Amino acid sequence: MVIANASNVDFMIKGVTKFHAFGQDLWVTTTEIGLSIVTIVILILAFVTDRKMKRATEVPGTFQNIMELLVESLDKLVKDTMGHNAKKFVNYIGTIFLFILLCNISGLFGLRTPTGDFGVTFMLGVFTFCIVQYQGIKNHGIGHLTSLAQPFPVLFPINLIGEITNPLSQALRLFGNMMSGVVIMGLWYGMMPIFVKIGIPSFLHVYCDLFSGCIQTYVFCMLTMVYVNDKLD
């Protein structure tokens, strides 16, 4: 079997177009394009769903059944995890679930997976961190901060590091798993002969994009709910 030259391997983030602003050269990369497409898809899906639900009939069609199943499943997931706190966070969890899922499986449609960019997953982790800290201060006041120093000073460094590393570990877990799929597919398409690039990659896409993407979406959302719920009790 003849292996292609390693120079054909392509899994890096690429600049698509450059523009000048604020005295700097700025690039629109494959990540921004992927995020834009995912956002547009979500907006279109939300618009179509809203129109369909306003015209819902007693005998629901296929689209209505799928949307109701998705919403009910997400509601149940959040309720089972967060209990009586679920109502306040179901919209946020549902939004990031759909956003991360579509980002993760976008490789099935020829895009470079946006969550294979640490900048994207890091910001998702930062959002989680901000929500967790806000809820902690809102529900426990200054006690949320002083609890990190109990018992002082022995566990203060450990507790502080734990608060900071929780969202960072979320971001790295999602990034690492999705980036590994991007690398595997890049190696396959870049180094394997042409006759094994047809058919066989579909099985790799099913695992790297679909299966792993769904699992990592579930894990990220589950950890977010656990971290937030911990500050509500």
Digit-coded pLDDT (tens) for 145-200: 777 777 766 777 888 888 888 889 999 999 999 999 888 888 877 776 676 667 66
Q: Indicate the average pLDDT of the chain.
A: 85
Tell me the pTM.
0.87
Q: Please count the other Cβ atoms lying within 10 Å of the Cβ belonging to residue 95.
A: 13
Interatomic CA distance for residues 98 and 77, integer angstroms: 13
Is the model's pLDDT at 7 over the cut of 60? Answer: no
Is the model's pLDDT at 6 over the cut of 60? Answer: no
**Cβ(52)–Cβ(63) below 8 Å:** yes
C-alpha triplet 97, 202, 170: angle, nearest 5°: 30
Q: Which residue has the higher pLDDT, 201 or 175?
A: 175
21 bridge partner residues:
24
Residue 38 is encoded by which pair of tokens? 């995912």
Is the model's pLDDT at 59 over the cut of 80? Answer: no
Interatomic CA distance for residues 70 and 64, integer angstroms: 10
Enumerate helices (H) and strands (E) in the chain, giving the number of each. Answer: 8, 2
User: What's the confidence (pLDDT) of residue 93?
Assistant: 94
Give how far Cα 134 sits from Cα of 131, 154, 204, Å. Answer: 5, 25, 41
Interatomic CA distance for residues 174 and 98, integer angstroms: 15
Nearest CA among 30, 48, 231 for reference residue 131: 231
User: What's the confidence (pLDDT) of residue 9?
Assistant: 59
User: What's the confidence (pLDDT) of residue 187?
Assistant: 80
Q: What is the pLDDT averaged over residues 93-102?
A: 94
% of the chain at pLDDT higher than 90: 40
User: What's the confidence (pLDDT) of residue 197?
Assistant: 66
Return the biggest CA–CA distance within the chain: 66
| Tokens 């890096």, located at residue | 12
| Tokens 């209505």, located at residue | 64
| Peptide bond preceding 151 in cis form (omega within 30 of 0) | yes
Q: Please count the other Cβ atoms lying within 10 Å of the Cβ belonging to residue 50.
A: 10
Amino acid at 11: F
List Cβ neighbours of 149 (8 Å cut-off, separation of 6 or more): 155, 156, 159
Residue 62 is encoded by which pair of tokens? 């296929």
Interatomic CA distance for residues 159 and 147, integer angstroms: 9
What is the DSSP secondary-structure string of 78-128? Answer: HHHHHGGGHHHHHHHHHHHHHHHHHHHHGGGGTPPPGGGSHHHHHHHHHHH
